[in-house]
Amino acid sequence: MVKKGFFNNSSPCRVALYIRVSGEEQKMKGLSLEAQQERLEAYARQQGWVIVGIYIDAAKTARKNMHKRSEFQRMLQAVKRDEVDLLLFCRLDRWFRSVADYYKVMEILEAHNCGWKTIDEEYDTSTANGRLYINVKLSIAQNEADICGERIDVVFDSKIAHGTVVSGSAPFGYRVNNEKRLEIVPEDASIVQDAFNYFERTVSKRATVRYIRETYGVNWCEATFRRMLKEKLYTGVYDRGGRYNEHFCPVIITQAQFDRVQQLLERNVRTTPAGRAYIFTSILTCDECSHKLVGYVSRGFYYYRCSQHFQRGRCCHNHSVREDYVEKWLFEHLQEELDRCKLEWKVQAAERQRKLGSNEKAALKNKLTKLKELYVNDLIDIEEYKKDYEIYNAALRQIPDPVQETSPDFSAVERLLQSDFKSIYDTLTREEKRTLWRSVIKEIRVDNENNITGISFG
């Protein structure tokens, strides 16, 4: 569609060529990138027009949102700068397969006095019938794209259900074999396992990337490693785009370790709006009122104080504790605190086991004693004694034996203590230090004299 009056005789028409191809189907129909460009250039030369831009979206489907077609967006920017008089393309479906998108773009073209034309089809927007014809063509093209998409979805569903890949790419540690399935590359898989283990110990993506680079010569960036840590395929599970197969490929990382890593990633919160990261935020707790201590900076040092005292006057905790003091204390006492927590849990578990069912058992044993006294004093006969004796003994047998409790999971802090975490700690950023402590410690209680009165591991 070329509007009358766009160009005058002294100024040649400025045209932008738009070319798009989405895959093998277009190539088979003679609509490859090269074929489209050659035909469009030849047509523009025949008309005596000046080509001011060639915009090519390769491997882009018209079903996608038009904002995802980068060259198409760049062409629209040229239109908005009034650098183009006419958009030229082979067919209408090279441009759009959506009626709604068509009218959105038409508003931009009309606002900047820019027209459009196809070289394989004729359209007329000056009449009602012409505009209706365009709507019908676009609707048909959109319907064809939707049907094609549904067919592709059925094929992909079948591939995923049978453990077949839908592309030639594979996460590090896997490769695509001749049967179009993922198989493990043993050398690479061992690197992935080591990376997950190292990240669990350090809770630092940057430190892990550096370790892998120095140890194996594999140069990942942090963004790549972050995606790897969240890659469910390492557990053998495919879970993308609404498709799921829990036995899609061989396992490199166990589900238990993968879940632990996801918890560590979730704890890696952002810095505060002021741009400062307080290492012990949400961990340090006032021993007097049980509220969290709040961080602040004074003369270059990081401190924590009880806001219930300083802002509300509801607590007697009127001292601030310095951050480096807490760090020093943890390095010196973390092992003994872990040992204390383990022993404390064992003592409490034993006490709970001892008390479990003891009251009920004691009551039944007391009844047996009284039953015996009644029989000895001839207050009941032997038949009554035997009958009640069986009833009370049966009740005793029904009281379950104590069940062995599962010990809390101290594995995270144990792994930390087994490694040379002090030297690693010194290389971490403040955000990474905060994540490290949050991965092993749930709470650190501090009293008004700045004594650390206890630690809870989480």
Give the active site residues: 22
Distance CA 194, CA 257 (A): 12
Token pair 């890659």: residue: 231
Determine which helix (DSSP H) or strand (DSSP E) holds 50, and give its type and residue range: strand 50-58
Cα-based torsion angle of the residue sequence 13, 128, 105, 71 in order, rounded to the nearest 10 degrees:
-60
Determine which helix (DSSP H) or strand (DSSP E) holds 450, and give its type and residue range: none
Distance CA 30, CA 110 (A): 31
* Angle between helix 255-266 and 430-440 (nearest 10): 130
Written as six digits, the tokens of 179 are 């049967």
Distance CA 90, CA 17 (A): 9
Q: Are the beta carbons of 98 and 60 closer than 8 angstroms?
A: no
Written as six digits, the tokens of 17 are 């060529």
Distance CA 217, CA 219 (A): 6
Q: Are the beta carbons of 419 and 200 closer than 8 angstroms?
A: no
Determine which helix (DSSP H) or strand (DSSP E) holds 251, and give its type and residue range: none
Determine which helix (DSSP H) or strand (DSSP E) holds 387, and give its type and residue range: helix 382-398
Distance CA 424, CA 93 (A): 58
DSSP string for residues in 51-79: EEEEEEEET--TTS-GGG-HHHHHHHHHH
Q: Are the beta carbons of 308 and 317 closer than 8 angstroms?
A: yes
Strands (E), 177-310: 182-184, 238-240, 243-245, 284-286, 293-298, 301-306
Written as six digits, the tokens of 273 are 């709006």
